[in-house]
Amino acid sequence: MTVLVLSWENAHLHGEAWISHHRLRHQIFVGRQSWDVPTYNSLEYDQFDTPAARYLVWIDDNGQARGVARLLPTTRPYMIKSLWPELLQHSPPETETIWEATRFGCDRSLTPSTRRRVVAELICGCLEFGLANGISQYLGLMPVAVFNHVIMAAGCKVEIQAANFHMGRHDVAAGYIDVTLSSLLEVRLRAGIRQSVLHGSSGDVSQHGSNDGVSRRERAIVDNIAA
């Protein structure tokens, strides 16, 4: 059980993880939340699933996705800027230091304790990935309840934008999530996580000079700050 950083370039290295993450997205966002988004053969996808995206996928011992999050640099086309810029109190960002975070979810068939673990490790994984790749904030698009009762409750600092809209069963909003070492430490402390959650070498973003998901310097930091 681990958190993978998947992309179009490395998906073939991880068995069922890639396709099962699209199945899980269908289960969460179409089946459970009733979103009107593209689907095919019980796989959920959209126009922002591009080579620029990185996917944090929590996989079980059978290599099946049980938790997901999608990250996109705001220097490339992204959902909030393209579809809902009015959710922001200013112009949509276009900078390497802010990435969009969407499609955050967890398999509801898991036990409550396992769901809590999956969610906490996904959040830690997003923070670790951000620290390793020069990201200062995520611009999230999520149900307001997820911001309040999941992301903020886990220990992250979030600035929810005022505007929201109703999608499926939820009020959805945009919000800025700070990516800091102190946030990572707080999330780890609350969840009882004592080491890096990201798996191996699948998260490179070449323009930041890292050959794996967490640089040597950042891996040393994130592996020890909660020890």
- Note whether 104 and 121 are within 8 A (CB): no
Residue 63 domain-assigned (yes or no): no
Query: What is the DSSP code (8-state) at residue 117?
Result: H
Q: Say which residues have a Cβ less than 8 Å from residue 222's Cβ, sequence separation at least 6.
A: 128, 131, 181, 184, 196, 214
Residue 131 domain-assigned (yes or no): yes
Say what the pLDDT of residue 220 is. Answer: 52
Residue 145 domain-assigned (yes or no): yes
- Per the prediction, the chain carries an average pLDDT of 88
Question: What CATH number should be reported for the domain holding residue 190?
Answer: 3.40.630.30
Residue 156 domain-assigned (yes or no): yes
- Tens digits of per-residue pLDDT, 162-198? 878 888 778 899 999 999 999 999 999 999 999 999 9
Residue 31 domain-assigned (yes or no): no
**Mean per-residue pLDDT for 14-43?**
93
Structure tokens given for 51? 């080579």
Say what the pLDDT of residue 211 is. Answer: 35
Q: Locate tokens 């996989």: which residue?
A: 59
Residue 42 domain-assigned (yes or no): no
**Mean per-residue pLDDT for 66-82?**
97
Three-state secondary structure call for residue 163 = strand
User: Which of the two residues, 45 and 218, has the higher pLDDT score?
Assistant: 45
User: Which of the two residues, 220 and 206, has the higher pLDDT score?
Assistant: 220
- Tens digits of per-residue pLDDT, 19-28? 999 999 999 9
Cross-strand pairs, 164 = 173
Residue from 55, 88, 92, 57 nearest 76 by CA: 92
- Note whether 101 and 151 are within 8 A (CB): no
Say what the pLDDT of residue 21 is. Answer: 97
**pLDDT for residue 86 is more than 50:** yes
**pLDDT for residue 210 is more than 50:** no
pTM: 0.86
Residue 32 domain-assigned (yes or no): no
Q: Give the residue numbers spanning the domain of 214.
A: 68-224
Query: What is the DSSP code (8-state) at residue 72?
Result: E
Count the domains in the chain.
1
